Amino acid sequence: MPVGTAASVKGVTPDQLAETGASIVLCNTYHLALRPGADTVAVLGGLHRFSGWDGPILTDSGGYQVFSLAKLNRIDDDGVTFQSHVDGATLTLTPEASIAIQNQLGADIIMCFDQCPPLPADRRVIEEATRRTVGWAKRCKRAHRRDDQALFGIVQGGLDVALRRSCMDALVPMDFAGYAIGGLSVGEAHEQMTACLDAVADRLPRDRPRYLMGVGMPRDIVAAVRSGVDMFDCVLPTRNGRNAFAFTPTGKLKLRNAVHRQADEPLDATCDCYTCRQFSRGYLRHLFLAGEMLGPTLTSIHNLRFYQRMMRRIRELILSDDLARIHDEFPVTRPGPGDKETLDDSGG
């Protein structure tokens, strides 16, 4: 799911987004509550009409901002009080408030409010976050008012398998429409993430979607799919696109590098996206060096298409029981240390 933090996938129109193969996008409850406000979105027809995206939309709950904006918030059992990063105003998110905002926004899938702890963290911190997540899930379930929105529960517990499983044991009887795994890709190593997923993901109900939140490196996605995960979101395609990094099956291209100055080939000769059909690496490098806004847009379009192509191929290989082939066709998915992504709250 491409990330449209403020009801917009940065630099890409809804038509361009659809052409990449995207069928569902994610929007951010915390950011939309601040600007323009849920009341405004509701008056203007809800997120679909407001943003011009007529496909499914998922809204997160604001729980990730409990982690990413930790210096600007205060947490207790009732909820989280934020000092707005925009103007310093106070925003209080409780489970009830998060659900009410998401009900107003009108997404198709909405998330329970949870506490996402950092990693590494003291066990007491992770235990407390897990306890709150379960208690808040109960309150979210009671507060949810719209039958046309699917409410997902979120499993927390850090890298502690016992805590993860106890959280699942508490959430599954609440009968959510789907279940997410939160609190990963927040500082742990690839090997730690995969070990946790191997022990946890396949224990979630098989008849409900399983969603790994905020994970986007190709190698992490394939490992998670092997563990039983169905859904993913991440800002990496567009964030990297804005910063002159292009994803290819063999790795990332750094478009500002001089080696691309007179390169006439596309970003990826196997890619069918608009960018690869029309433009050379040399032209894209020129756009970035000249500060032209078209550069980030074209590279984002390619990156979004890269991810959709990879996910489509994963689905095909699952059906043919040959998922291991993905590493040959997309070598970038092979296990390894890979690139270290910077975590921030700049959105998609």
> What residues act catalytically?
60, 233
Q: Which two tokens stand for residue 274?
A: 């608009």
C-beta of residue 173 within 8 angstroms of C-beta of residue 208? no
Q: Which long-range contacts (CB under 8 A, 24 or more apart) does 232-235 make?
A: 232/1, 232/311, 233/1, 233/2, 233/3, 233/26, 233/58, 234/3, 235/3, 235/5, 235/346, 235/347, 235/348
Residue 109's H or E segment, with its range, is: strand 109-111
Q: Which two tokens stand for residue 224?
A: 């998670």
What is the full DSSP assignment across 23-65? --EEE-HHHHHHTT-HHHHHHTTHHHHHHT--S-EEE--SHHH
Cα(93)–Cα(113) distance, integer angstroms: 8
Q: From the CB of residue 87, how many other CB atoms can be counted at a distance below 10 Å? A: 8
